Structure 1
Amino acid sequence: MASRRPAGGRNATSAAFDHEKEVAKAERELARAEARAEAARARVARVRWRAWSLESPDADDGAFAGSYDDDEPLPETSNSWQPPRLQLPGRKAGALAAACVIVGASLGASMFMELEHRALTRTQHRSAEFEAAAREGVIRLMSIDANHAEEDIQRNIDNSTGELRQQLRVTGWPLAQQVAQSKMSTTAIVDAVAVESTTADSGIILVLARSDSFNPDDGERVMKTWRISVKVTRVGDQLKLAKVDFLQ
């Protein structure tokens, strides 16, 4: 006769199997809970990092990593703190700022060009003024009429200054008498002038001139070419010859 297993043994085996299923289920739920907790911690860390980056854009990222521990407990509520919003300029504000910069730069460049133009214009005007004074002064100085020699010498004295004026006062009248006696008149022609240097009140001008001397009694004519360095000085509202050097 076959022996029968006690009923109590079969029930014990079934209970042990059910217990193992419960343990496995609990372990799976625990693993899922730990995974959710880890994901939540990661989300909190990302939110904190964004907030910290907005508040301290120039700080080192390592400073943030050291200031928060992964094992720090999660906050009880996710709405207890929100990161501050950084107000960034809109497109219209950025475009307006760029336009202001461009307009400012254009105005600065225009003002600089205007000042440069005015300075150049003043220099050109001053050079032309000195050139004209040198041209007229040399023609007047080298031209002398035998019939009006004294008047010509006096006119040169009146239109000169400095060293040249002193020379004409000493040598002018003997020269006038000599010209009157010889009856030889001289006419000067200026072919070219060039500015060597100028300041606000004086300038050195190079002059290329010719002198044509003629004696009506014997028909003698003498022509010469001269290279002259002329110093022009401002006296009041007039430009006068101050010094004349004949370079040949």
Structure 2
Amino acid sequence: MPAGKNESEAPDADDAVSAEAAEAAAAAAEVRAEAARARANELRRKLEAARDETPAPAETVAAAKPEADEPAVSVAETAEESDAVEELEPTPDVAPEKKRRVRAPRLKTVAAMVAVLAIIGLLSATGYMVWQHRNTEQQRHRSAEFAAAARQGVVNLMSLDFNQAKDSVQRVIDDSTGKFKANFEDGSDDLIKALQQAKIVTKVTVNESAVESMDKDTATVLVAATSQRTGPDAPKEDQQPRVWRVVVSLQREGDQLKMSDIEFA
């Protein structure tokens, strides 16, 4: 019967169409798989070139290479993974910039330390020079003070006038201290009588003086002086100038420098 024949042929036609559709879908899937594998191989070559021919990690290669049993990866997804991997990889220019950022503060710190040390050295040298200059000036002032006191002491001691015998002797006592003062006071009366009886007048000129040693309150000074005796009763031989070398010991007493000892050399 015709009607029965048509009913038997219809399922065969549908099966044929389904088979063709399945073959077409399989062919399309195979094409997509080949494209994905080609894209993965291209991506692997780019990664190896970017890493200077360094082998890619096993997990990256495994992730990039599709397995036969896994579904095909689309080109868009592969491109996104490639961009993500490229963003994670450091570029060669980053390291030098980091090194420069690290080195710059160190150089500035070293320069600052060197500048501070140089300033400290200059301040120390300046302070030492100021202290040395001040110390030198104090030594000069003290030396001049002792020398002047020794010169005046020799003049007071050796310049005698019988007309002012008591004043001459008292002046020496006032400018003396210690044992020298005590000894001079003990013999002052006899000295006054001798000056008045002999009618002695002596003039003294200090030629030079030099400080031999000193500290803050004491000093030893060498004095060279010339004396000449005058008066109506003075012998002619005593009227000739005489040169004396005197060693004067000085000691500070309050705000005055006084003779503590006299020695004729």
Structure 1 residues 133 and 214: alpha-carbon distance in aligned structure 2, compared to 1, 3 A threshold: same
Q: Does structure 2 conserve the Cα–Cα contact (< 8 Å) formed by 1:214 and 1:222?
A: no
Hey, what's the Cα distance between the residues in 2 that align with 1:88 and 1:39? 33
Q: CA deviation at 1:158?
A: 1.2
Hey, what's the Cα distance between the residues in 2 that align with 1:129 and 1:241? 13
Hey, what's the Cα distance between the residues in 1 that align with 2:164 and 2:264? 24
Check if 1:102 corresponds to 2:145: no
Q: Indicate the SS of the match to 1:181.
A: helix
Check if 1:231 corresponds to 2:249: yes
Counterpart of 2:155 in structure 1: which amino acid? I
Instruction: Choose from 205, 210, 215 the match for 1:194.
Output: 210
Q: Indicate the SS of the match to 1:234.
A: strand
TM-score, normalised via structure 1 length: 0.63
Hey, what's the Cα distance between the residues in 2 that align with 1:226 and 1:94? 69
Q: Indicate the SS of the match to 1:178.
A: helix
- Which residues of structure 1 form unaligned runs of 5+? 1-34, 42-76
Instruction: Choose from 98, 108, 111 the match for 2:127.
Output: 111
Q: CA deviation at 1:219?
A: 7.3
Q: Indicate the SS of the match to 1:211.
A: strand
Hey, what's the Cα distance between the residues in 1 that align with 2:112 and 2:132? 30
RMSD over aligned Cα, in angstroms?
2.9
Hey, what's the Cα distance between the residues in 1 that align with 2:148 and 2:137? 16
Hey, what's the Cα distance between the residues in 1 that align with 2:174 and 2:124? 48
**Aligned ranges for residues 1-248 of structure 1 at < 5 Å?**
40=54, 86=102, 88-89=104-105, 93-217=109-233, 220=236, 221-247=239-265
Q: CA deviation at 1:93?
A: 4.9
Counterpart of 1:127 in structure 2: which amino acid? S
Structure 1 residues 78 and 144: alpha-carbon distance in aligned structure 2, compared to 1, 3 A threshold: same
Q: Does structure 1 conserve the Cα–Cα contact (< 8 Å) formed by 2:200 and 2:234?
A: no
Structure 1 residues 176 and 40: alpha-carbon distance in aligned structure 2, compared to 1, 3 A threshold: farther
Q: Indicate the SS of the match to 2:187.
A: helix
Bigger proportion of residues as helix: 2
> Could you give the per-residue CA deviations for residues 17-54 of structure 1, whole angstroms, max 9, x where no partner exists?
xxxxxxxxxxxxxxxxxx9999749xxxxxxxxxxxxx
Counterpart of 2:182 in structure 1: which amino acid? Q
Counterpart of 1:234 in structure 2: which amino acid? R
Structure 1 residues 39 and 108: alpha-carbon distance in aligned structure 2, compared to 1, 3 A threshold: farther
Q: CA deviation at 1:106?
A: 1.0
Q: Indicate the SS of the match to 2:206.
A: strand
> Could you give the per-residue CA deviations for residues 83-137 of structure 1, whole angstroms, max 9, x where no partner exists?
9964542665544443332222111100001111111111111100000000011
- Which residues of structure 2 form unaligned runs of 5+? 1-47, 56-87
Q: Report percent identity of matched pairs.
A: 34
Counterpart of 1:176 in structure 2: which amino acid? I
Considering only CA atoms, is the larger Rg found in Structure 1 or Structure 2? Answer: 2
Hey, what's the Cα distance between the residues in 2 that align with 1:162 and 1:218? 33
Aligned length: 177
Other-structure match for 1:73: none
Counterpart of 1:190 in structure 2: which amino acid? V
TM-score, normalised via structure 2 length: 0.59
Hey, what's the Cα distance between the residues in 2 that align with 1:39 and 1:126? 88
Hey, what's the Cα distance between the residues in 1 that align with 2:89 and 2:184? 106
Hey, what's the Cα distance between the residues in 2 that align with 1:218 and 1:124? 42
Q: CA deviation at 1:173?
A: 1.9
